[in-house]
Amino acid sequence: MSKHISILIIGGGTGGIMLASRLLKESDQLNVGIIEPSDVHYYQPAWTLVGAGTYDYDKTKRPMKDYIPKGTNWIKDKATAILPKEKTVETVSSGSFTYDYLVVAPGLAYDLDLVPGLKEGLDKGNVISIYTDPKKAWSAISSFKGGTALFTQPTTPIKCGGAPQKIMYLAEAHFKKSGVKKDTKIVFATNGGVIFGVKPIKETLMKVVDRKGVHVKFGRNLVKIDAEKNIAWYRLGDNQSEYNPVDLPLEKEGDLVGIPYDLLHTAPPSIAPKFLQASGLLNEGGWLNVDIHSLQHTQYPEIFGLGDVAALPTAKTGAAIRKQVPVVMDNILKLMKGAEASNYGYNGYSSCPLVTEYGKMVLAEFDYDSNFIPDPKLKRMLVFDSSKEHWRLWTFKKYGLPYLYWNYMLKGKDV
Ligand SMILES: Cc1cc2nc3c(=O)[nH]c(=O)nc-3n(C[C@H](O)[C@H](O)[C@H](O)COP(=O)(O)OP(=O)(O)OC[C@H]3O[C@@H](n4cnc5c(N)ncnc54)[C@H](O)[C@@H]3O)c2cc1C
């Protein structure tokens, strides 16, 4: 027999915990359940700093039990299927659960096979990713002896789109300190056609790229990696262009161009978790098909999407989730009262703290239209233009944001 939970949340990550905390703050009478298999909750945004040797990995993880809010029914299991017509979720060993409202928030999954050779590469010392093993990333960056350091990203959407360049900027700063910069070519190969899609941020980052002598290759679609020969292979996009060119011994194979590397950093190709594939809830692009302003599923009004899994044309970040949670909550409460889910208030807000040096950061905050929309509260921190590098923003990233995450955001308190 299925057990019934009124508001069932799949995933106890950033989105799932923030929402459960807010709901139970609203009313401790609500019947809220979270399906979450992990004992540990990670603060992933600090992994960039771990990869640059300036944050302790152990401080990014805390026991899940301390953050699942009191009063939540924690189903310590994995969801294996959603049957939306039956309003049922199946799990590995806890049986199935029916729901009145379902919030799908299992984050995203990595599919390394989408870039053949990446798995083999990540087993070696010179292919790294702050997404999968930030400690190994630091060990490779700190022991780098010079050569071509290639920073890249896959063609799929990824978490925090700016992270692949953040780690590059910090690696460059470290190479300078360790004395290998003069023997190093730093290359950023991206499928994008600009360094960042928000104008004032782009202007600052192009200056950073100039200052650091980074060679940027735009319109490079990563196809495969030859981990044996240390070559990353790309198909050129229509948006291809070069900035700050340097001489590289490029390889050719049909219409592919190969960049030889001594050190390669990449974000992993990312997809919606596999258990969703058969649910009928995904769009053509493979992400949870929700209205981009109300976060309500386009076919099933009692289902909402939250966080990285959702098909939203904005950056997948925890900062975005902070603005999504109140909209999802408001809409569920409206439905519970028999009204329509009429809150269309999510404007695509996301933010990307772009660390550019040890001690400097730019804070990109933007909406669906790539407008730069800095939080007025930054002025209280004496930051009057967050599109420019600032030491106070670095301090905010390293100390302020983790504190606010664990003590405010996950506890359902306003920041
Ligand atoms: C290197 C890196 C740097 C980043 N930098 C920033 C940054 O600077 N600023 C920022 O705001 N964001 C940043 N992010 C992104 C941010 O961490 C994510 O956007 C955010 O954590 C996504 O929240 P989520 O709830 O969607 O998923 P997650 O927090 O990933 O949580 C998903 C949860 O679902 C669970 N789950 C998975 N599958 C199932 C299943 N089948 N059944 C039940 N539970 C399941 C998982 O165990 C997990 O606990 C960064 C991420 C990385 C990796």
Sequential DSSP letters for 244-282: S------EEETTEEEEE-SEEEEPPPEES-GGGTTTT-B
- What is the pLDDT at residue 2? 75
Give me ligand 1 centre to Cα 45, in Å.
Answer: 9
Q: Which CATH class is domain 110-270?
A: alpha beta
Whole-angstrom distance, CA of residue 197 vs CA of residue 367: 11
The answer to whether the beta carbons of residues 40 and 62 sit under 8 Å apart is yes
Tokens representing 232 are 């990353």
The answer to whether the beta carbons of residues 262 and 149 sit under 8 Å apart is yes
> Best mutation site among 77, 99, 159 for ligand 1, i.e. most ligand atoms within 8 A of its Cβ?
159
- The residue from 225, 352, 354, 393 that is catalytic is 352
Give me ligand 1 centre to Cα 103, in Å.
Answer: 15
Whole-angstrom distance, CA of residue 153 vs CA of residue 229: 19
Question: Ligand 1: which residue has its CA nearest to atom 2?
Answer: 45
The answer to whether the beta carbons of residues 32 and 23 sit under 8 Å apart is yes
Nearest to 48 by CA among 168, 184, 212: 168
Question: Ligand 1: which residue has its CA nearest to atom 35?
Answer: 11
Q: 73 — alpha (psi -120 to 50), left (phi > 0) or beta?
A: beta
Tokens representing 379 are 């002025």
Find the angle CA(182)-CA(185)-CA(189) to the nearest 5 degrees.
Answer: 155
Atom of ligand 1 nearest to the CA of 167: 1
Give me ligand 1 centre to Cα 337, in Å.
Answer: 31
Question: Ligand 1: which residue has its CA nearest to atom 49?
Answer: 13
Q: How many CB atoms lie within 10 A of CB 81?
A: 14
The list of the chain residues with pLDDT below 50 reads none
Question: Ligand 1: which residue has its CA nearest to atom 15?
Answer: 317
> Best mutation site among 22, 38, 39, 44 for ligand 1, i.e. most ligand atoms within 8 A of its Cβ?
44
Tokens representing 2 are 């299925």
Give me ligand 1 centre to Cα 58, in Å.
Answer: 17
Give me ligand 1 centre to Cα 42, in Å.
Answer: 8
The answer to whether the beta carbons of residues 97 and 88 sit under 8 Å apart is yes
Question: Ligand 1: which residue has its CA nearest to atom 23?
Answer: 14
Whole-angstrom distance, CA of residue 348 vs CA of residue 290: 13
Q: Which residue has the tokens 């302003």?
A: 293
- Measured in whole angstroms, the distance separating CA 161 from the mean position of its chain's CA atoms is 7
> Best mutation site among 14, 276, 314, 351 for ligand 1, i.e. most ligand atoms within 8 A of its Cβ?
14
Atom of ligand 1 nearest to the CA of 317: 19
Task: Note the pTM of the prediction, 2 decimals.
Answer: 0.97
Nearest to 273 by CA among 290, 288, 292: 288
The answer to whether the beta carbons of residues 103 and 16 sit under 8 Å apart is yes
- What is the pLDDT at residue 252? 97
Q: Which residue has the tokens 């679609």?
A: 221
Q: Is 352 among the catalytic positions?
A: yes
Q: Which residues line ligand 1 (CB under 6 A)?
A: 10-16, 35-38, 44-45, 47-48, 78-79, 105-107, 130-131, 159-160, 163, 273, 275, 307-308, 316-319, 321, 353
Kindly report the length of the chain: 415
- The residue from 9, 160, 310, 320 that is catalytic is 160
Q: Which CATH superfamily is domain 3-108+272-346 in?
A: FAD/NAD(P)-binding domain (3.50.50.60)
Whole-angstrom distance, CA of residue 351 vs CA of residue 377: 14
Nearest to 108 by CA among 152, 160, 65: 160
The answer to whether the beta carbons of residues 263 and 147 sit under 8 Å apart is yes
Q: Which residue has the tokens 């405010």?
A: 408
Atom of ligand 1 nearest to the CA of 350: 11
CATH 3.50.50.60 domain extents, the chain: 3-108+272-346, 110-270
- What is the pLDDT at residue 415? 87
